[in-house]
């Protein structure tokens, strides 16, 4: 496993993370709802985001996907990897050591 460059979260990423955490509080979204392949499974490539975007008309879901589209792959992973930690009150974590070879290049 290659250690990638540390992802330095910015205010935009933190606001998006908060929006994702709030998404889980909506009834029937306990496992990510219509965004589960992105938020729960960490599938954050452009194709994955478009797949979800094309299958929802929920304004909050669209805002989350469009927000993720503004980020690099590593920033997207930082957001999705930190959802559970923030939900559980554990705070943010550095993900650079958890990213496999190739992903760090994005």
Mean pLDDT by 10 residues, the chain (106 residues): 69 96 91 92 95 95 97 94 82 62 40
Of 7, 2, 35, nearest to 21 (Cα)? 35
Q: Using alpha carbons, list the distances in angstroms from residue 49 to 38, 45, 94.
A: 7, 6, 23
Distance CA(104)–CA(14), nearest Å, equals 20
pLDDT at residue number 95: 64
pLDDT at residue number 84: 85
Distance CA(21)–CA(39), nearest Å, equals 10
Distance CA(75)–CA(17), nearest Å, equals 11
pLDDT at residue number 9: 92
pLDDT at residue number 96: 59
Distance CA(84)–CA(59), nearest Å, equals 22
3-class DSSP state for residue 60?
helix
pLDDT at residue number 21: 93
Of 52, 53, 54, 61, nearest to 28 (Cα)? 61
């Amino acid at each position: 496993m290659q250690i990638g460059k540390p992802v330095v979260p910015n205010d935009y990423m933190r606001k998006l993370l908060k929006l994702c955490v709030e998404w889980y509080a909506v009834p029937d979204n306990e496992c990510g709802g219509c965004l589960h392949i992105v938020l729960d499974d960490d599938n954050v490539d452009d194709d994955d985001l478009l797949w979800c975007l094309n299958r929802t008309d929920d304004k909050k879901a669209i805002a989350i996907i469009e927000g993720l589209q503004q980020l690099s792959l590593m920033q997207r992973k930082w957001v999705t990897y930190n959802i559970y930690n923030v939900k559980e009150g554990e705070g943010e974590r550095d993900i650079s050591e958890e990213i496999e070879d190739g992903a760090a290049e994005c």
